[in-house]
């Protein structure tokens, strides 16, 4: 009897769940505790305005925008509407889950104040939560800072971002512990650079109709792995629409290990590094209808970016139009206009050998016009890259053929398929050689 009872329990535990398409549809959704999948379509949702005047929160800097974000986040999410004006930032705007940050288009400008830089005047250990600055006059409580130092035995700098939350003289408390050593013998410095809008470990956010200006000529560089006009880390379900990211001494828009990111109808221009930076490990990005102009690289697929779509973008006057590399596989690049790239229109990087290259990417119906120098290529496939499909693209060279080639393939590249392309004005349609 006991053995029979146990057998019955085991059978019950392994009954297959009811398939989703067998369930009755939800026809009368209700707000239910813990149920984030189904919500009624509310006619009015929580929103708050931030502005110079006639707003729920009045002011002209990062603190008032942050107050709006924190207010709606505390109540479960909503919209922060930033009214027209120039908002001068001394720190990032830190987004939270389920918050929509919306501006008034070109009339809402988030502007980065000039940066200050100084050496640390005393060593700080990894467990400390304070730093001492040599020249502290240009730093204030509330400022965002980036700390850099070369740790013992490292071949690269440690980089962290913090906020100054208290001070006595030139000693500042930080919002979070260092968790790394910042020693003077490692050339430890503090620089007041930061992303203008940022978020980490958050979901379901939107950034819309804003102009973000990084004030490039008066700010130190912040690498795109840590910053940008927009910088997101470990986020998912993100929509960035109608944003202009410009003049940053770093990237325009960067997202690292972020999934299901949509960047649509945006402009990223005159940035020192990357226009759009779908960063390491980011899955399923959609990059659509954007203008990427006069950056170092227009779109930079970083490490392991997979199953993405880059569609109908205008990519103009960058050093490199699109760059694909380390394990960036199974992406579709289609219907883009890539024009006047100084070095190359589309680059497949050589990486560390075949196992690390960007395989199985498709280039379909793109227009590539006047890319590269006298010996340049519109598309340059390097290293051990394999299984690239190039179909129905238009290659046009109006500057004269010189030594220009439409598609250059490295000696280790394999399985490059070209079909139905239009190629005009080049010295050669294809060439094997190079890296």
Q: Coil, strand, or helix at residue 381?
A: strand
Q: What is the DSSP string of 76-117?
A: T-EEEEEPSEEEEESS-EE--TTEEEE--GGGEEEEEPPP-E
Is the pLDDT assigned to residue 141 strictly greater than 90? Answer: yes
Domain count, the chain: 2
Q: Which domain holds residue 182?
A: 117-191
Q: Which of 165, 191, 217 is the last residue of a domain?
A: 191
Element (H, E) at 424: strand 422-424
Q: Which helix (H) or strand (E) holds 239?
A: strand 236-241
Identify the pLDDT of residue 238.
98
Buried b (16+ CB within 10 A) or exposed e, 312-347: bbbbbbbebbbbbbbbbbebebbbbbbbbbebbbbb
Say whether both 220 and 339 belong to one domain.
Answer: yes
Q: Is there a domain that residue 41 lies in? A: no
Exposure class string for 156-166: b at 16+ Cβ within 10 A, else e: eebebbbbbee
Task: Count Cβ neighbours within 10 Å for each residue of 369-392 and write b for 16 or more, e otherwise.
Answer: bbbbeeebbbbbbbbbbbbbebee
| Mean pLDDT taken over the chain | 94
Q: What pLDDT, on a 0 to 100 scale, did the predictor assign at position 35?
A: 86
Q: Are strands 377-381 and 85-89 parallel, antiparallel or unpaired?
A: unpaired
Contacts with 260 (C-beta within 8 Å, 6 or more apart), sequence order: 236, 237, 238, 283, 284, 285
Predicted pLDDT of residue 19: 63
Residues whose CB is less than 8 angstroms from the CB of residue 299 and which lie 6 or more positions away in sequence, other chains included: 274, 275, 276, 278, 287, 292, 310, 313, 315, 321, 322, 323
Residue 42, domain member (yes or no): no
Mind listing the pLDDT tens digit for each residue in 238-247?
999 999 999 9
- Note whether 104 and 149 are same-domain residues: no
To 5 degrees, how large is the angle CA 82–CA 88–CA 90? Answer: 115
- Cβ atoms of residues 357 and 386 within 8 Å: yes
- CA–CA–CA angle 97, 101, 106 (5° rounding): 160
> Which residue among 191, 206, 235 closes a domain?
191
Reported as a single tens digit per residue, the pLDDT across 18-29 is 566 788 999 999
In the predicted model, is pLDDT for residue 11 greater than 50?
Answer: no
Are 156 and 296 in the same domain?
no
286 lies in the same domain as 383: yes
Tell me, yes or no, whether 421 and 302 share the same domain: yes
| CATH number of the domain bearing residue 377 | 2.160.20.10
For residues 51-76, average pLDDT: 97
In the predicted structure, residue 16 carries a pLDDT above the cut 70: no
- In this structure, the answer to whether residues 142 and 101 fall within a common structural domain is no
Separation of alpha carbons 94 and 295, rounded Å: 25
Tell me which residue of 53, 51, 165, 162 sits closest to 110, measured CA to CA.
51
Q: Verify that 263 and 341 share a domain, yes or no.
A: yes
Contact 150, 183 (CB under 8 A): no
In a domain, 26, yes or no: no
Indicate whether 288 and 361 sit together in one domain. Answer: yes
Share of the chain above pLDDT 90, in %: 89
Residue 18 lies in a domain: no
Q: Are residues 132 and 179 in the same domain?
A: yes
Q: Which of 157, 173, 191 marks a domain boundary?
A: 191
| pLDDT tens per residue, range 161-192 | 999 999 999 999 999 999 999 999 999 999 99
pTM exceeding 0.85 = yes
Percent of the chain whose pLDDT exceeds 70: 95
Tell me, yes or no, whether 324 and 396 share the same domain: yes
In a domain, 15, yes or no: no
**Is 95 a domain residue?**
yes
* Same domain membership, residue 213 and residue 336: yes
**Span 402-418, pLDDT tens digits:** 999 999 999 999 999 99
Contact 99, 78 (CB under 8 A): yes
pLDDT category at 194 given cuts 50, 70, 90 is very high
Tell me the C-alpha distance between 409 and 249, whole Å.
Answer: 33
Instruction: Tell me, yes or no, whether 19 lies in a domain.
Output: no
* Same structural domain, 130 and 274: no
Inside any domain, residue 6: no
């Amino acid at each position: 009897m006991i053995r029979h009872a146990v057998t019955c329990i085991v059978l019950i535990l392994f009954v297959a769940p009811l398939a989703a398409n067998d369930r009755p549809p939800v026809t009368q959704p209700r707000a239910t505790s813990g149920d984030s999948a189904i919500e009624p379509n509310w006619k009015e949702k929580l929103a708050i305005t931030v502005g110079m005047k006639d707003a729920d929160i009045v002011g002209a800097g990062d603190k008032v925008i942050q107050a709006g974000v924190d207010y709606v986040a505390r109540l479960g999410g909503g919209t922060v509407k930033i009214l027209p004006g120039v908002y001068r930032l001394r720190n990032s705007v830190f987004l939270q889950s389920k918050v929509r940050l919306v501006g008034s288009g070109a009339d809402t400008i988030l502007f980065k104040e000039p940066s200050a830089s100084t050496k640390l005047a005393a060593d700080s250990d990894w467990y400390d939560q304070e730093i001492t600055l040599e020249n502290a006059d240009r730093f204030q409580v509330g400022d965002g800072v980036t700390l850099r130092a070369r740790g013992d035995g490292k071949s690269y700098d440690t980089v962290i971002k913090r906020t100054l939350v208290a001070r006595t003289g030139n000693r500042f408390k930080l919002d979070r512990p260092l968790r790394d050593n910042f020693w003077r013998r490692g050339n430890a410095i503090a620089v007041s650079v930061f992303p203008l809008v940022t978020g980490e470990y958050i979901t379901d956010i939107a950034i819309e109709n804003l102009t973000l200006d990084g004030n490039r000529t008066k700010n130190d560089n912040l690498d795109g792995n840590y910053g940008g006009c927009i910088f997101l880390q470990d986020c998912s379900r993100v929509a960035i629409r109608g944003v202009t990211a410009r003049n940053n001494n770093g990237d325009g828009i960067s997202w690292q290990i972020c999934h299901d990111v949509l960047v649509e109808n945006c402009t990223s221009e005159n940035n020192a590094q990357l226009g759009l930076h779908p960063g390491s490990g980011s899955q399923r990005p959609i990059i659509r209808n954007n203008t990427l102009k006069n950056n170092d690289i227009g779109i930079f697929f970083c490490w392991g970016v997979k199953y993405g779509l880059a569609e109908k973008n205008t990519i103009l006057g960058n050093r490199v139009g699109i760059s694909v590399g380390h394990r960036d596989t199974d992406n579709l690049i289609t219907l883009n206009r890539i024009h006047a790239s100084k070095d190359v229109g589309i680059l497949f990087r050589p990486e560390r050998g075949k196992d690390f290259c960007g395989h199985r990417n498709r280039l379909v119906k793109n227009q590539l016009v006047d890319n590269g120098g006298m010996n340049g290529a519109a598309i340059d496939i390097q290293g051990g890259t394999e299984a690239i499909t190039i179909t129905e693209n238009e290659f046009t060279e109006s500057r004269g053929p010189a030594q220009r080639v439409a598609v250059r393939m490295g000696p280790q590249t394999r399985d490059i398929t070209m079909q139905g392309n239009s190629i005009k004005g080049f010295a050669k349609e294809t060439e094997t050689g190079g890296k």
